[in-house]
Amino acid sequence: MKKIVMVGYGAMAQAVMPLLPADVKVGWLVVMPQDVAKIQAVVGDDIKVVSTVSAIEGKPDCAVEMAGQAGLKAHIFDLIAAGIDVGVISVGSFADETFQQQVEAAAKAKGAKIAILSGAIAGIDGLASAKLAGLDSVLYQGRKNPRSWKGSYAEELVDIDQLKSATTFFKGSAREAAKRFPANANVAATLALAGIGMDATEVELIADPAVARNQHKIVAEGVFGAMEILMMGVPLESNPKTSMLAALSVARFCRQLDDVILI
Protein backbone atom coordinates (compact mmCIF):
# COMPACT_ATOMS: atom_id res chain seq x y z
CA MET A 1 0.00 0.00 0.00
CA LYS A 2 1.38 3.40 -1.02
CA LYS A 3 0.50 6.45 1.08
CA ILE A 4 0.70 9.84 -0.57
CA VAL A 5 0.40 13.49 0.33
CA MET A 6 -1.92 15.73 -1.65
CA VAL A 7 -1.11 19.42 -1.56
CA GLY A 8 -4.37 21.25 -2.17
CA TYR A 9 -7.98 20.09 -2.01
CA GLY A 10 -9.71 22.01 -4.75
CA ALA A 11 -11.72 20.83 -7.73
CA MET A 12 -8.85 18.88 -9.26
CA ALA A 13 -7.89 17.02 -6.10
CA GLN A 14 -11.50 16.11 -5.49
CA ALA A 15 -11.71 14.75 -9.05
CA VAL A 16 -8.50 12.74 -8.62
CA MET A 17 -9.37 11.00 -5.36
CA PRO A 18 -12.00 8.61 -6.77
CA LEU A 19 -9.58 7.63 -9.57
CA LEU A 20 -6.82 6.37 -7.31
CA PRO A 21 -6.14 2.62 -7.43
CA ALA A 22 -6.91 0.43 -4.44
CA ASP A 23 -3.23 0.21 -3.49
CA VAL A 24 -2.69 3.99 -3.30
CA LYS A 25 -4.13 5.83 -0.33
CA VAL A 26 -4.16 9.53 0.48
CA GLY A 27 -2.67 9.72 3.95
CA TRP A 28 -2.37 13.48 4.27
CA LEU A 29 -3.86 16.64 2.78
CA VAL A 30 -1.95 19.92 3.02
CA VAL A 31 -4.33 22.89 2.84
CA MET A 32 -4.64 26.48 4.02
CA PRO A 33 -4.70 26.83 7.84
CA GLN A 34 -8.21 28.28 7.86
CA ASP A 35 -9.53 25.27 5.92
CA VAL A 36 -8.09 22.45 8.02
CA ALA A 37 -11.09 21.84 10.31
CA LYS A 38 -13.65 22.15 7.54
CA ILE A 39 -11.87 19.75 5.20
CA GLN A 40 -11.07 17.29 8.01
CA ALA A 41 -14.81 17.04 8.67
CA VAL A 42 -15.42 16.31 4.97
CA VAL A 43 -12.75 13.66 4.39
CA GLY A 44 -13.07 11.84 7.71
CA ASP A 45 -10.50 10.39 10.08
CA ASP A 46 -8.66 8.17 7.58
CA ILE A 47 -6.91 11.20 6.10
CA LYS A 48 -4.93 13.64 8.23
CA VAL A 49 -5.50 17.24 7.19
CA VAL A 50 -2.64 19.64 8.00
CA SER A 51 -1.47 23.09 6.98
CA THR A 52 2.27 22.43 6.96
CA VAL A 53 4.52 19.62 5.77
CA SER A 54 6.20 19.56 9.20
CA ALA A 55 2.92 18.38 10.71
CA ILE A 56 3.00 15.17 8.66
CA GLU A 57 3.70 12.14 10.85
CA GLY A 58 5.30 9.22 9.06
CA LYS A 59 6.99 9.00 5.65
CA PRO A 60 4.79 9.40 2.55
CA ASP A 61 5.77 7.53 -0.59
CA CYS A 62 5.37 10.70 -2.64
CA ALA A 63 3.41 13.94 -2.88
CA VAL A 64 1.20 15.35 -5.62
CA GLU A 65 0.61 19.09 -5.86
CA MET A 66 -2.66 20.63 -7.08
CA ALA A 67 -2.65 23.85 -5.08
CA GLY A 68 -1.76 26.50 -7.65
CA GLN A 69 1.49 28.40 -7.93
CA ALA A 70 1.30 29.93 -4.46
CA GLY A 71 0.59 26.56 -2.87
CA LEU A 72 3.47 24.90 -4.68
CA LYS A 73 5.92 27.61 -3.65
CA ALA A 74 4.70 27.47 -0.06
CA HIS A 75 5.34 23.75 0.41
CA ILE A 76 7.72 22.28 -2.18
CA PHE A 77 10.93 23.06 -0.30
CA ASP A 78 9.62 21.44 2.88
CA LEU A 79 8.62 18.36 0.88
CA ILE A 80 12.06 18.19 -0.71
CA ALA A 81 13.76 18.69 2.67
CA ALA A 82 11.81 15.68 3.93
CA GLY A 83 13.11 13.64 0.99
CA ILE A 84 9.67 13.30 -0.60
CA ASP A 85 9.33 13.05 -4.39
CA VAL A 86 6.76 15.49 -5.79
CA GLY A 87 4.47 15.37 -8.84
CA VAL A 88 3.78 18.95 -9.93
CA ILE A 89 0.73 20.21 -11.81
CA SER A 90 1.25 23.98 -11.25
CA VAL A 91 4.08 24.03 -13.75
CA GLY A 92 3.69 27.75 -14.43
CA SER A 93 5.59 28.33 -11.18
CA PHE A 94 8.79 27.53 -13.05
CA ALA A 95 8.39 30.68 -15.13
CA ASP A 96 10.15 32.16 -12.11
CA GLU A 97 13.70 31.24 -13.12
CA THR A 98 15.15 31.77 -9.65
CA PHE A 99 12.51 29.48 -8.14
CA GLN A 100 13.27 26.78 -10.71
CA GLN A 101 16.99 26.93 -9.96
CA GLN A 102 16.34 26.76 -6.22
CA VAL A 103 14.07 23.72 -6.63
CA GLU A 104 16.63 21.95 -8.79
CA ALA A 105 19.44 22.63 -6.31
CA ALA A 106 17.38 21.55 -3.29
CA ALA A 107 16.12 18.35 -4.97
CA LYS A 108 19.63 17.40 -6.09
CA ALA A 109 21.00 17.95 -2.59
CA LYS A 110 18.30 15.74 -1.00
CA GLY A 111 18.05 13.15 -3.77
CA ALA A 112 14.37 14.00 -4.37
CA LYS A 113 12.68 13.81 -7.78
CA ILE A 114 10.32 16.45 -9.16
CA ALA A 115 7.95 15.04 -11.80
CA ILE A 116 6.39 17.54 -14.20
CA LEU A 117 2.96 16.10 -14.96
CA SER A 118 1.62 16.35 -18.51
CA GLY A 119 -1.58 18.07 -17.38
CA ALA A 120 -4.13 19.01 -20.00
CA ILE A 121 -2.13 18.09 -23.11
CA ALA A 122 -0.54 15.23 -25.04
CA GLY A 123 2.68 15.10 -27.00
CA ILE A 124 5.11 16.13 -24.25
CA ASP A 125 7.11 12.92 -24.72
CA GLY A 126 7.48 13.55 -28.46
CA LEU A 127 8.43 17.18 -27.98
CA ALA A 128 11.07 16.33 -25.38
CA SER A 129 12.49 13.68 -27.71
CA ALA A 130 12.52 16.09 -30.68
CA LYS A 131 14.46 18.61 -28.58
CA LEU A 132 17.47 16.27 -28.59
CA ALA A 133 17.95 16.76 -32.34
CA GLY A 134 17.06 20.45 -32.24
CA LEU A 135 13.81 22.42 -32.29
CA ASP A 136 13.39 25.53 -34.42
CA SER A 137 10.04 26.73 -33.07
CA VAL A 138 7.23 25.80 -30.69
CA LEU A 139 3.86 27.56 -30.66
CA TYR A 140 1.13 26.95 -28.11
CA GLN A 141 -2.37 28.24 -28.80
CA GLY A 142 -4.91 28.07 -25.98
CA ARG A 143 -8.56 28.60 -26.89
CA LYS A 144 -11.29 28.58 -24.23
CA ASN A 145 -14.80 29.84 -23.73
CA PRO A 146 -14.80 33.37 -22.26
CA ARG A 147 -16.16 32.05 -18.93
CA SER A 148 -12.93 30.09 -18.48
CA TRP A 149 -10.96 33.35 -18.59
CA LYS A 150 -13.05 35.10 -15.96
CA GLY A 151 -11.10 36.24 -12.94
CA SER A 152 -7.85 36.32 -14.91
CA TYR A 153 -5.70 39.05 -16.41
CA ALA A 154 -7.70 38.58 -19.63
CA GLU A 155 -10.43 40.79 -18.17
CA GLU A 156 -7.98 43.71 -18.23
CA LEU A 157 -7.26 43.14 -21.92
CA VAL A 158 -10.72 42.50 -23.34
CA ASP A 159 -14.40 42.76 -22.32
CA ILE A 160 -15.02 39.08 -21.66
CA ASP A 161 -18.80 39.43 -21.28
CA GLN A 162 -19.28 41.23 -24.60
CA LEU A 163 -17.34 38.94 -26.94
CA LYS A 164 -19.30 37.71 -29.95
CA SER A 165 -16.47 36.03 -31.85
CA ALA A 166 -13.07 34.48 -31.23
CA THR A 167 -10.61 37.07 -29.91
CA THR A 168 -6.87 36.67 -29.42
CA PHE A 169 -6.13 38.76 -26.37
CA PHE A 170 -2.55 37.69 -25.66
CA LYS A 171 0.57 36.99 -27.72
CA GLY A 172 3.88 36.54 -25.99
CA SER A 173 6.33 34.07 -24.46
CA ALA A 174 5.51 31.11 -22.26
CA ARG A 175 7.25 32.87 -19.39
CA GLU A 176 5.03 35.94 -19.65
CA ALA A 177 1.88 33.83 -20.15
CA ALA A 178 2.60 31.72 -17.07
CA LYS A 179 3.14 34.81 -14.96
CA ARG A 180 0.12 36.72 -16.29
CA PHE A 181 -2.29 33.75 -16.28
CA PRO A 182 -1.21 31.51 -13.38
CA ALA A 183 -4.46 29.53 -13.34
CA ASN A 184 -4.62 29.01 -17.11
CA ALA A 185 -1.11 28.76 -18.55
CA ASN A 186 0.42 25.64 -16.98
CA VAL A 187 0.27 24.01 -20.41
CA ALA A 188 2.48 26.70 -21.93
CA ALA A 189 5.03 26.28 -19.14
CA THR A 190 5.05 22.49 -19.51
CA LEU A 191 5.69 22.78 -23.24
CA ALA A 192 8.47 25.26 -22.58
CA LEU A 193 10.24 22.97 -20.11
CA ALA A 194 9.95 20.03 -22.51
CA GLY A 195 11.01 22.07 -25.54
CA ILE A 196 12.94 25.26 -26.26
CA GLY A 197 12.46 27.15 -23.01
CA MET A 198 10.22 29.75 -21.44
CA ASP A 199 11.37 32.71 -23.53
CA ALA A 200 11.51 31.05 -26.96
CA THR A 201 8.16 29.24 -26.74
CA GLU A 202 5.43 31.34 -28.37
CA VAL A 203 1.97 31.56 -26.83
CA GLU A 204 -1.36 32.81 -28.15
CA LEU A 205 -4.42 32.89 -25.88
CA ILE A 206 -7.92 33.12 -27.32
CA ALA A 207 -11.39 33.66 -25.88
CA ASP A 208 -13.97 32.04 -28.16
CA PRO A 209 -17.69 32.02 -27.26
CA ALA A 210 -18.29 29.32 -29.90
CA VAL A 211 -16.30 26.63 -28.08
CA ALA A 212 -17.50 24.54 -25.15
CA ARG A 213 -14.26 22.64 -24.62
CA ASN A 214 -10.77 23.85 -23.73
CA GLN A 215 -8.73 23.69 -26.93
CA HIS A 216 -4.95 23.28 -26.86
CA LYS A 217 -2.97 23.43 -30.10
CA ILE A 218 0.74 22.69 -30.30
CA VAL A 219 2.78 23.39 -33.43
CA ALA A 220 6.49 22.48 -33.42
CA GLU A 221 9.17 22.28 -36.12
CA GLY A 222 12.75 21.14 -36.04
CA VAL A 223 15.33 18.66 -37.29
CA PHE A 224 12.90 15.82 -36.46
CA GLY A 225 10.25 17.19 -38.84
CA ALA A 226 7.01 18.88 -37.81
CA MET A 227 4.36 18.24 -35.19
CA GLU A 228 0.84 19.56 -34.87
CA ILE A 229 -1.38 18.38 -32.03
CA LEU A 230 -4.91 19.54 -31.30
CA MET A 231 -6.56 18.69 -28.00
CA MET A 232 -10.17 19.53 -27.17
CA GLY A 233 -10.56 18.79 -23.49
CA VAL A 234 -13.69 18.74 -21.39
CA PRO A 235 -13.29 21.20 -18.48
CA LEU A 236 -14.04 20.15 -14.94
CA GLU A 237 -17.63 21.11 -14.21
CA SER A 238 -16.66 22.58 -10.84
CA ASN A 239 -13.77 24.62 -12.30
CA PRO A 240 -13.92 25.54 -16.01
CA LYS A 241 -10.34 26.83 -15.91
CA THR A 242 -9.14 23.24 -15.50
CA SER A 243 -9.33 20.42 -18.04
CA MET A 244 -10.46 16.98 -16.94
CA LEU A 245 -7.33 15.56 -18.58
CA ALA A 246 -5.16 17.50 -16.13
CA ALA A 247 -6.81 15.67 -13.24
CA LEU A 248 -6.43 12.39 -15.10
CA SER A 249 -2.69 13.03 -15.53
CA VAL A 250 -2.37 13.25 -11.74
CA ALA A 251 -4.31 10.01 -11.30
CA ARG A 252 -2.07 8.32 -13.89
CA PHE A 253 1.05 9.44 -12.00
CA CYS A 254 -0.34 7.91 -8.82
CA ARG A 255 -1.28 4.69 -10.60
CA GLN A 256 2.30 4.28 -11.85
CA LEU A 257 3.87 4.31 -8.40
CA ASP A 258 4.03 0.51 -8.31
CA ASP A 259 4.24 -0.20 -12.06
CA VAL A 260 7.35 -1.95 -13.32
CA ILE A 261 6.57 -1.27 -16.99
CA LEU A 262 6.19 2.46 -17.53
CA ILE A 263 4.67 4.14 -20.57
Per-residue burial over 159-173, b if 16 or more Cβ lie within 10 Å, else e, is: ebeebeeebebbebb
Give the active site residues.
216
Global pTM reads 0.91
Q: Edge-to-edge strand order for the sheet containing 214-222?
A: 167-173, 202-207, 135-144, 214-222, 225-233
Measured between alpha carbons, how far apart are the two ends of the chain, in Å? 21
Q: Which residue has the higher pLDDT, 179 or 32?
A: 32
Same domain, 21 and 113: yes
Same domain, 101 and 12: yes
- Residue span of the structural domain in which 115 resides: 2-120+245-256
CATH of the domain at 180: 3.30.360.10
Q: Is residue 240 over pLDDT 80?
A: no
186 annotated binding-site participant: yes
Q: Return the pLDDT at 182.
A: 84
Q: What is the rounded CA–CA span in Å between residue 27 and residue 56?
A: 9
Task: For residue range 89-142, list pLDDT tens digits in order.
Answer: 999 999 999 999 999 999 999 999 999 999 999 999 999 999 999 999 999 999
What is the radius of gyration, based on Cα positions, of the chain? Answer: 18
Rounded mean pLDDT of the chain?
94
Same domain, 164 and 199: yes
For Cα atoms 78, 84, 90, give the angle at the middle one, nearest 5 degrees.
Answer: 70
Q: Return the pLDDT at 260.
A: 85
- Tally of domains within the chain: 2
